[in-house]
């Protein structure tokens, strides 16, 4: 099972440059096994083109390295903080994708202007506050996770309704029920950010989407009566 966990984390990591979300070695992905309390994460600073499944580092939810000859990503404490706070998630992705990072560096949330955004987020993509000098000089990566959790608690945001956040002055983090879904959310965040920037260029005073349209698009994919996609009935056994 842990070999499979490392494979899932590896597949998610190598998907990031394939989707154009990564420059150099900026970014990482992790997958958690809740039953064992262990997650697999990219090793620090290893080029994506040279990455292998066996290089994924296993870390427990107490922060101890369980397996791996390489050091885990420097962002490991942030991933761990999110796994501890958001119990329903199974994977975390961090990128420095260009357009989403531009919003993060500017300290601006991404306004919800259209249905592409509403297919993934039930409102604006939130941005955290700045870290304080004390937080930066201390357990920086853990505090990065803390400001994300703080942002969600302060506005009672559901991580399942908002599968990502912008860390101010830094870049986006996304998550999902699986690490593959976290990658999908990272792709969506970058697409949404690019569309928002173009929309603001065309219409600087553009207002956000109508509440009815937001609700319809979000609920058709994520609500109790969701009908987007295919539902495959279990095949009956042959007699």
| pLDDT digit string, tens, across residues 137-179 | 999 999 999 999 999 999 999 999 999 999 999 999 999 999 9
Give the tens place of pLDDT for each residue, 36-50: 999 999 999 999 999
Whether residue 191 lies inside any domain: the answer is yes
Whether residue 22 lies inside any domain: the answer is yes
Owning domain of residue 148: 2-222
Count Cα neighbours of 16 within 13 Å in the Cβ-side half-sphere.
35
How many domains does the chain divide into? 1
- Known catalytic residues are 119, 228
| Cβ-contact 188, 96 below 8 angstroms | no
CA distance to 200, 211, 223, per residue, from 195 (Å):
9, 19, 25
Quick one: what percent of the chain has pLDDT higher than 70? 96
**Per-residue model confidence (pLDDT) at position 73:** 97
Whether residue 236 lies inside any domain: the answer is no
Whether residue 104 lies inside any domain: the answer is yes
pLDDT at 180 over 90: yes
For the whole model, what pTM was predicted?
A: 0.92
Mean pLDDT for the stretch of residues 78-93? 98
Sheet (strand 172-176) strand order: 65-67, 57-60, 38-41, 27-33, 91-95, 172-176, 164-166
Whether residue 230 lies inside any domain: the answer is no
Q: What H or E segment, with its residue span, contains residue 8?
A: helix 2-18
Whether residue 237 lies inside any domain: the answer is no
The CATH number linked to 218 is 3.40.225.10
State the pLDDT confidence band at 239, using cuts at 50, 70 and 90. Answer: very low
Whether residue 47 lies inside any domain: the answer is yes
Average pLDDT of the chain is 94
Whether residue 227 lies inside any domain: the answer is no
Give the tens place of pLDDT for each residue, 25-38: 899 999 999 999 99
């Amino acid at each position: 099972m842990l070999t499979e966990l490392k494979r899932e984390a590896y597949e998610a990591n190598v998907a990031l440059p394939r989707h154009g979300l990564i420059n150099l070695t900026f970014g990482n992905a992790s997958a958690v096994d809740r039953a064992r309390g262990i997650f697999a994460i990219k090793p620090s600073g290893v080029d994506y083109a040279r990455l292998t499944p066996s290089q994924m580092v296993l870390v427990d939810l107490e922060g101890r390295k369980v397996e791996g000859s390489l050091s885990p990503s420097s962002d490991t404490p942030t991933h761990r903080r999110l796994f501890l706070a958001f119990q329903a998630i199974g994977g975390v992705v961090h990128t420095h994708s260009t357009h989403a990072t531009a919003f993060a560096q500017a300290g601006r949330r991404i306004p919800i202007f259209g249905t592409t955004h509403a297919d993934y987020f039930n409102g604006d993509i939130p941005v955290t506050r700045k870290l304080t000098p004390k937080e930066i000089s201390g357990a920086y990566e853990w505090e990065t996770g803390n400001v994300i959790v703080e942002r969600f608690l302060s506005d009672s945001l559901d991580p399942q309704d908002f599968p990502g956040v912008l860390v101010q002055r830094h870049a986006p983090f996304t998550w999902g029920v699986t690490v593959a879904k976290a990658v999908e959310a990272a792709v969506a965040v970058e697409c949404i950010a690019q569309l928002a920037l173009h929309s603001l260029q065309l219409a600087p005073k553009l207002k956000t989407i109508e509440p009815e349209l937001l609700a319809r698009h979000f609920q058709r994919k994520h609500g109790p009566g969701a009908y987007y996609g295919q539902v495959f009935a279990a095949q009956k056994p042959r007699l």
